[in-house]
Amino acid sequence: MSASEMIGDQAVFDVGIDVGGTFTDFFCTASEKTSQACKTPTTHYDLSVGFLRGMGLLAKQAGVPLGDFLSQVRSIRYSTTVGTNALIERSGPKLGLITTAGFEDTIFIGRARSWADGIGFTEGRDQARIKKPEPLISPDMVVGVRERIDYAGKILAPLDPAEVRDKLQELVDKGARGFVVGLLWSFRNPVHERMIKEVIEQEYPEDYLGSMPVFLSSDISPKAGEYTRYMTTIVNAYIHGVMSDELTKLGNELRDRGYKRPLTLVHNTGGTKKAARTRAVLTHNAGPVAGLHGSAVLGALSDIGNIVFTDMGGTSFDIGLIEDGDIKAHDFIPVIDRWRTNIPAIEVKSIGAGGGSIAWINELMNNALEVGPQSAGSMPGPACYDKGGRLPTVTDADLVLGLYNPENYLGGEMFLDEDLARAAIKEKVANPLGIDTVEAAYRIRRLIDARMGQEVFNEVALKGHDPRTFAVLACGGAGGAHACGFAPFIGARRILMPSQSSVFGAYGASMMQIKEVWDRSHSMKLFTFTKQEYLKDLEGFNRVVLELKDAALRDLRLEGYREESIEFTLELNVRYGSQYNMTRVRAPKLLLESEADVKALCDLFTERYATIYSPEATYPAGGINVEDFTMTAAVIRPAPYHAEHALSGAEPDKSAKTGERPVYWSPDKGFEDTPIYQYERLLPGNEITGPAIIEARDTTYVIAPSWRYRMDRFGNGSIEQIAR
């Protein structure tokens, strides 16, 4: 079905949804080539409340009742934080772990500095106060069974089903409501894990006390490294039940209101999949990945290949890279909450920096001003929200500096109380530092901008790139207000500000493909330096590739897609023989047919390695090994439609300028009368030279002095630095 198809005489809608820590964002495209968006506060007590409230707003904008709107929705692509919240709140089910006898303590021993996984740099340095995270499975809920499979998949000691039944009963007697099975080398031969699952299903069928969910590490994470494999499976099992309950409830409410299709979840692998066929662990951090995907789409429209994606919301600041028009960076060891995993996730870095980040005085550091990582969230929110919050935030500082119109926030749907913002900053920051309130607000803003700028610089430079060659894409509710503040810290001279800026994660979700990602560990030596010999076992390499391809194809066929509509991509984790860290490369072709193909693959790895670490760091004497295979199967989809408009003149219409107000730009100038423009009255081709403020219904664009804003033919903004 193409984007222009209709159901009878009715429009067809596609909806993308991104649940954030402060707001839930919605973006909807219609078959008439129109789009609409909205935001609602995230209702953490019940995400479906905010979800349905937002759908109601979309229906209102479309001019139809909610039931009629939902009956015309073709797809809902949903990025959810349900699983992440379950981990933070430790609200998952009581699980039992069945592992190889003698290795019951694997998940508690962890890896080297696993106690520092998932905490900030400052916290990591304070080793005297660091505590290991409370385990998701307690030691008394771990049992070992006698069995052994070696590194090649050969059975050395067979599994005894009778022993499994005894251990199973032990876990059930202690209250287990689900089981994780993780055995040594099961990713090479899963036969023993599957036998254990059969025993559990025989003992506890669905018609007896309900189903006991079973999660095998060989299914969830068929990768080398027992700790990360077990933890990936445990995290998946822990959030599965909570997600299942939440999504079942949401699905039922949608169906009751007229929605007739499956709910589709956004994955951190860069695609979407039906909720019923989703591994729960793949939903972690899916919202920022959706935004990164949207960056690639807009980069193609603007003919910009190198983009650093930034999303400043109310709670966090997300960073990702587009290189040569493509998403290439994957997490080597993704950390979920406090746990190392090995899911094939796209790398998006998040730090605690957003509009709701709290400003505070660090008495242990000589009364130094700090901003974040703590956030006021959506409830109670910044002090200016007047919902009970009394701590100063970045939003409060921006309001005091005159950057926001207190009577026109979120299109006038929310009033901001400047007096409350001033009072909070004065009490918690200005008085302790002995400065006035405005200076305190300015310091808060500069500090958060510097912190974000440094993180962006590190993310780009440490991957071997020159940050000055990247354009910054600024999105999120607060991104437009701070982009001109943090971009100079990385040397960027161009900023892209999408028309969908404040709901960009939802926009990206609505543009994503149906995609399957399957991966597996399988070590093979591509190049032996001492013999100057390339891999000869091409059949073994191709066998792994074809097995992954068949697995991905099987799932997509079950969703109704034919092979000719699917595009396959093979990526490999490759390393020099004596190194631990791996470099991901995209194979030029799926199957190896000759020694020349192997050499081309090795040359590609060397080139990629040299780009990241410099040519001097390459080490061919170590040989070249492939360790992991990742197969991506994406349903081919037409390029998303974006309305294109003729360019008008550079001078905005007089009606676009709505007035002026005092804005504090720097201590040497103080407050300066600054022109205010209404975004909806600007036309493609219009230019505005800073200092200026552009107010949209759901966000504010701050154009600092020495920057010039121009709206392109798609309605997106481009801000470029001009001579001072």
* Cβ 713 vs Cβ 644: under 8 Å: yes
Tens of pLDDT, residues 114-150:
888 877 666 767 777 777 888 999 999 999 999 999 9
Quick check: 435 pLDDT over 80? yes
pLDDT grade, residue 1 (50/70/90)? very low
Average pLDDT score over residue span 580-602: 93
β-sheet bridge partners, residue 104: none
The region of weakest confidence among 119-123, 316-320, 403-407, 488-492 is 119-123
Top-level class of domain 89-244: alpha beta
Tens of pLDDT, residues 357-380:
999 999 878 889 999 888 887 678
Of residues 303 and 143, which shows the higher confidence score? 143
Peptide bond into 373 cis (omega under 30): yes
pLDDT grade, residue 677 (50/70/90)? very high
Tens of pLDDT, residues 51-79:
899 999 999 988 889 999 999 998 899 98
Q: Closest Cα partner for 502 from 352, 291, 281?
A: 291
Of residues 351 and 441, which shows the higher confidence score? 441
Q: List b or e across 443-455, with b for residues whose CB sees 16 or more CB atoms inside 10 angstroms.
A: bbbbbbbebbbeb
* Cβ 485 vs Cβ 593: under 8 Å: no
Write the single-letter amino acid at 656.
Answer: A
Identical fold at 1-79 and 515-635? no
Q: What are the φ and ψ backbone dihedral angles of 542, each rounded to 5 degrees?
A: -65, -30
Quick check: 7 pLDDT over 50? no
Give the start-end residues of each E strand in 48-132.
73-79, 96-100
pLDDT score of 641: 72
pLDDT score of 3: 33
Pick the CATH number of 1-79 from 3.40.120.10, 3.30.530.20, 3.30.465.10, 3.30.420.40: 3.30.420.40
* Cβ 683 vs Cβ 711: under 8 Å: yes
Average pLDDT score over residue span 456-481: 89
Residue 197: alpha-carbon gap to chain centroid:
32
pLDDT score of 10: 55
pLDDT score of 412: 72
Mean pLDDT of the chain: 88
* Burial of residue 238 (number of CB atoms within 10 Å: 0-12, 13-18, 19+): buried
**DSSP letters along 284-323, please?**
TTHHHHHHHHHHHHHHHHHT---EEEEEE-SS-EEEEEEB
Cα–Cα distance, 420 to 408 (Å, whole number): 17
pLDDT score of 578: 80
Average pLDDT score over residue span 154-172: 96
The region of weakest confidence among 14-23, 34-43, 201-210 is 201-210
Quick check: 209 pLDDT over 60? no
CA atoms within 13 A on the CB side of 323: 17
Q: Greatest CA span in the chain, whole angstroms?
A: 83
Show contacts of 138-141: CB within 8 Å, 24+ apart: 139/104, 139/105, 139/108, 140/174, 141/94, 141/95, 141/96, 141/97, 141/171, 141/174, 141/176
β-sheet bridge partners, residue 700: 695
Sheet (strand 35-41) strand order: 35-41, 23-30, 13-19, 73-79, 264-266, 272-274
Quick check: 208 pLDDT over 60? no
Cα–Cα distance, 273 to 293 (Å, whole number): 15
Q: List b or e across 280-318, with b for residues whose CB sees 16 or more CB atoms inside 10 angstroms.
A: bbbbbbbbbbbbbbbbbbbbebbebbbbbbbbbbbbbbb
User: Rg for the chain (alpha carbons), in Å?
Assistant: 27
pLDDT grade, residue 316 (50/70/90)? confident
CATH topology of domain 515-635: Dna Ligase; domain 1 (3.30.1490)
Q: Where are the domains of the chain?
A: 1-79, 89-244, 307-351+456-511, 357-448, 515-635, 654-721
At residue 267's C-alpha, the angle toward residues 212 and 6, to 5°, is 110
Quick check: 8 pLDDT over 50? no
